Chains A and B, each alone.
Chain A
């Protein structure tokens, strides 16, 4: 009997200890303000009635590559919290972790009041009726700070209302190695896709693991979804038409497919492993010297500048090559959204306005330049953005931004097609030779139609 009692006691103690650890564990909202390595829960204390921002706001922001941006963002929130007598809880989250966190938040009702989203997700969550209309905020921010690039508003406007508060944009650009191209006799970057092919071929030497075209596909590759669309658009092909019917099985698309396939199989100017690159694939290829030309956002430039001076000195930037229909740049549009069921929507809206206040916003984005670009039309003509070599090429691309769904509007179905990586799958099939171009494009058309007809 004694042993039995002892056991029962031990078990109870374990359970009790477990729950108790939980209750007094770090991270509860009653943590005192000012924890330097604790949560960024800024509590202005019990000074009576809540200010106009309400009692508490929870903010979820994407983790930026440049760490100083993350720190500055949290500091800004602390500042606002202190000045406005409101508790602000901030969580900086890696982009890949967002979908699960959003799902858990939505299902459990523990929603953030203000959260980061790209335009792609905005459309999708809007499609399910989960987002709050923020047209008033967008109107106000333009009244206060000047116009935002109008094409940044298009993909987040649905039925004449905006559902995202734009905060920054990113641009994809072509990086090229001046030294490698010079060795093959080229002093400037290719301006059309045909030239791109020619230069890539001239520069490649597979036996030395050197390839001209550092372009790849892969299920884990979001980059590829973007730039493949860019080249398709530049040849006049597109995934869907204005009505949402799939039209990818077209002659123009076949031309593009043939071009890329020839580059891979005949020219051998694309690394063999590229058919399964993830997003870091082209970064690694470029930094290691395997690839002479890649397409990416400013993340590579920041890395190379910080750690690899040899490569940095030999790097130049150029816009996307053009096809017969011109040059198209895949547009990125990131900002803040508010869930319809969030607890403090009014406070969130006011907070958002403060966060897009021009002076602060521009200085914040400068820390991450040229990866993050400003959204206000006249921001690009001053300060660091006028740097011709490294920063201006990015800014110049903004007016050319094209978004998923082109030539039609961006819709949630377009976002789904992107998530399913249908384009990547298609080109993987073509390049690895597991299916013919015609079949693969037909397959893509079928799959896209399936998604759009849901």
Chain B
């Protein structure tokens, strides 16, 4: 027990050689920072600024303070949207993390043959063009020529076809399934790479000392990859929160606004009804949550480099 604990708890220290670090650091950061500053500052300011105006497409914007936000908070559809977005994001992200971890562990296993091939195959959902994977699933869920209903009926699980998008609950389940199917490889690959930068010697030493697989996972694997897992989770949360295509193409937010999320509502208000101020305000609503998530990630990153 003793040797494992010692190795696993050794923290990576960062080190610094005097004050020269500022210059060197900013030299390395320069391309990224300049690029992002040039390209993102104007759009971000435009967006946030626009949410406080009554901007419509093609018309001038006049400042109207929090009017958009008040309109939204009074709109029952918007309140429903908040709930839907939370459910959708939470369910999808949790599933993706768990399944991604399983995928990474399986692919990292030394007993696995044809590893490259397996990895490539499991990566396919992410590789397939989004549009096509969405429509393929739509077809599979359909009651006309749909494989899922057909198989379930053949296996005797159901008697009549299920309308996978016909009720609010089923529709939410269906869109979550598609999002998880598409997004798990991202987590799988990210975690896998994290697993592979772990020193393999530690596992050897641990087996010699009699630790079983679960103990090894808990004491060696998890601490080493928790950085990567946390980070990939945060990024995937941000992406899922802003996800548009899957819901738009499968249900457009229906039935009865049951799968309406921020991105789809924002599109409807902003481009179909051309109320840009309102539509941008919807996006800005998510800012506090996102800033909070980014803050967690940053804090974690900073504290890991304790002196």
Contacts and interface: CB of A to CB of B under 8 A. Distances in A.
A275 interface: yes
B210 interface: no
B304 interface: no
A276 B254 contact: yes
Interface string B21-63: 0000001000100000000000000000000000011110000
A288 B145 contact: yes
Contact of A130 (B58, B144, B161, B165): B58
Interface string A106-118: 1100000000000
Interface string A164-183: 00000000000000000000
A295 B270 CA distance: 30
A227 to B, nearest CB: 17
Given A107-B57, A425-B257, A428-B256, A420 B268 contact: yes
Contact of B144 (A4, A102, A285, A429): A285
Interface in B68-124: none
B245 to A, nearest CB: 12
Interface string B145-167: 10000000000000011011111
B56 A434 contact: no
Q: How big is the A interface, by class?
A: 35 or more
B168 interface: yes
Given A102-B57, A103-B271, A434-B168, A209 B256 contact: no
Contacts of B252: 218-220, 278, 421
B263 interface: no
A271 interface: yes
Nearest to B264: A219
Contact of A218 (B59, B254, B257, B268): B254
Contacts of B249: 220
A103 B57 contact: yes
B273 interface: yes
A416 interface: yes
A290 B146 CA distance: 13
Contacts of B270: 103
A154 interface: no
Majority-rule SS of A interface residues: helix
Interface in A117-161: 124-125, 128-130
Contacts of A100: 271
Contacts of A275: 163, 166, 255
A107 B56 CA distance: 10
B302 interface: no
A411 to B, nearest CB: 13
Interface string B246-270: 0001011111110000000000101
Interface string A387-427: 00000000000000000000000000000100111001100
B251 A219 contact: yes
A308 B57 CA distance: 44
Contact of B253 (A11, A102, A219, A416): A219
Contact of B272 (A99, A272, A285, A425): A99
A206 interface: yes
B146 to A, nearest CB: 9
Contacts of A102: 57
A273 B146 CA distance: 12
Contacts of A424: 254
B143 interface: yes
Given A218-B255, A272-B163, A128 B273 contact: no
A124 B163 contact: no
Contacts of B271: 99-100, 103
B171 interface: yes
Interface string A182-209: 0000000000000000000000001101
Nearest to B27: A4
Interface string B183-212: 000000000000000000000000000000
9 contacts: A11-B31, A103-B276, A273-B166, A274-B166, A276-B165, A276-B251, A288-B144, A419-B273, A428-B256
Given A100-B271, A424-B254, 16 more contacts: A103-B271, A124-B274, A128-B57, A130-B58, A206-B160, A209-B143, A209-B161, A218-B165, A218-B255, A220-B252, A271-B143, A273-B142, A284-B144, A419-B272, A432-B166, A432-B256
Interface of B: 27, 31, 56-59, 142-145, 160-161, 163-168, 171, 249, 251-257, 268, 270-274, 276
Q: 10 closest pairs, A vs B, by CB?
A: A219-B254, A219-B252, A273-B163, A276-B165, A99-B271, A220-B252, A419-B272, A106-B58, A272-B163, A288-B144
